[in-house]
Amino acid sequence: METDKKKDIKSFTLSQLKDEMESMGEKPFRAKQLYEWMHNKLAVSYEEMTNIPKTLSDKCMERYSYTALEILQVQESRIDGTRKYLFGLADGNTVESVWMRYKHGNSVCISSQVGCRMGCRFCASTLDGLERSLLPSEMLDQVYAVIRHTGERVSNVVVMGSGEPMDNFDNLLQFITLLTDENGLHISQRNVTVSTCGIVPKMYQLADRELQITLAVSLHAATDEKRRKLMPVADSFSLSELMDACASYFEKTGRRLTFEYSLVKDVNDTDEDARQLAALIGGLNCHVNLIPVNPVREREYVQSERRAVDAFKNKLEKNGINVTIRREMGRDIDGACGQLRRRYMNDRGKKQQGGTYSA
Ligand code: SAH
């Protein structure tokens, strides 16, 4: 919870902030006021905090860092209004978030890390590896910035952008605590989804917290052999270990699991693949999200044909499994994880290079 060695004020829970105020010789009610400005009124600086004396805000500025994101780009889909944001962080890094409007409310998909070190073959976020993990406040800021920008409420938050949330476990938990806190946005745990590539020990640790969030597990293949070709994490954990962790998550929390399965033409989209998947997960209380793979320029993977996607869905349904085909929101914008950031960084690189040449 540190940037530039200063503690990060927006990553404190209310009770931690009370302790901080106390250590500064301030009254506890100041903690409540500050917390409310940060997590309820979504203030981006102390200047907005009209009931906080300047002496206190000066002290806070000296002691703590205050994260805020800069909106670098917004792309809006002409098809469904989905918006993709590229945010600048204080250290010059960038992250992406997506805002989607559904019948049941607005949803924000946030990133948990800058880049990713999981190496999934079809994913753009991981192409340059992991830059760093995000602070709890930097995950919150993505939600807050979107609310400020759209002027609309958000009812669902999904941690499904760039990064592997289980690789940033403590900050993820603190983020969930703050996001669902009654003194902040008070988003229901049931409306929070965390997606993992399947880091088994962390899944057990998460289950131990007995949260009511939804755990989404990226499966993408139903045999170890095939999964290893798509996801290096499969070298560390077998499918049988992963399935045990899923069963245990359900036992502990009572929450139905979601499995994500990105369909890649001629790689994992055959009848046999569907049969194996049904056999693998048939015994679990779960739901499958089929995602026609989003082609990434640097990768050769091709999206399954509509017919294959439908056939795959039917086969699973015949086996009594709940399936949805993920609506391709924002098809006309850089929808796949990490693509917008990548393009931005590449453009920036080219510009910088261009400058050198002309000098
Ligand atoms: N690290 C987390 C969150 C990643 S992104 C995880 O692995 O679950 C959320 C989902 O999108 C994951 O299922 C991921 O495998 C999938 N994904 C990434 N790139 C994709 C692409 N180009 N096309 C389709 N799905 C993709």
Q: Ligand 1 center to residue 178 CA distance, Å?
A: 25
Among candidate residues 123, 246, 286, 337, the one labeled active-site is 337
Ligand 1 atom at shortest distance from the alpha carbon of 159: 3
Cα angle 77, 82, 88 (rounded to 5 degrees) comes to 95
Between CA 328 and CA 336 the distance in angstroms is: 10
Tokens of 277: 């998947």
Between CA 111 and CA 97 the distance in angstroms is: 6
Of 155, 252, 251, 258, the residue nearest 214 (C-alpha): 258
Of 220, 211, 133, the residue nearest 176 (C-alpha): 211
pLDDT tens-digit profile, the chain (359 residues): 544 579 999 999 999 999 999 999 999 999 999 999 999 999 999 999 999 999 999 999 999 999 999 999 999 988 888 999 999 999 999 999 999 998 889 999 999 999 999 999 999 999 999 999 999 999 999 999 999 999 999 999 999 999 999 999 999 999 999 999 999 999 999 999 999 999 999 999 999 999 999 999 999 999 999 999 999 999 999 999 999 999 999 999 999 999 999 999 999 999 999 999 999 999 999 999 999 998 888 888 999 999 999 999 999 999 999 999 986 666 677 655 566 677 777 776 655 543 332 22
Indicate if 182 belongs to the active site.
no
Angle between helices 200-208 and 169-179 (to 10 degrees): 30
> What residues contact residue 281 under an 8 Å CB cut-off, 6+ apart?
219, 243, 259, 288, 321
- Dihedral angle over CA of 139, 124, 261, 301, nearest 10: 170
Q: Ligand 1 center to residue 23 CA distance, Å?
A: 43
Half-sphere exposure of 21 (CA within 13 A, CB side): 20
Please tell me whether residue 318 adopts helix, strand or coil conformation: helix
Tokens of 38: 């940060």
Pocket of ligand 1 (CB under 6 A): 118, 120, 122-123, 160, 164, 195-197, 218, 260, 262, 291, 293-294, 296, 336-337
Q: Ligand 1 center to residue 24 CA distance, Å?
A: 44
Half-sphere exposure of 269 (CA within 13 A, CB side): 21
Instruction: Compute the residue count for the chain.
Output: 359
Among candidate residues 20, 26, 60, 96, the one labeled active-site is 96
pTM of the predicted structure, to 2 decimals: 0.93
Query: Is 341 within 8 Å of 98 (Cβ atoms)?
Result: no
Tokens of 30: 């100041």
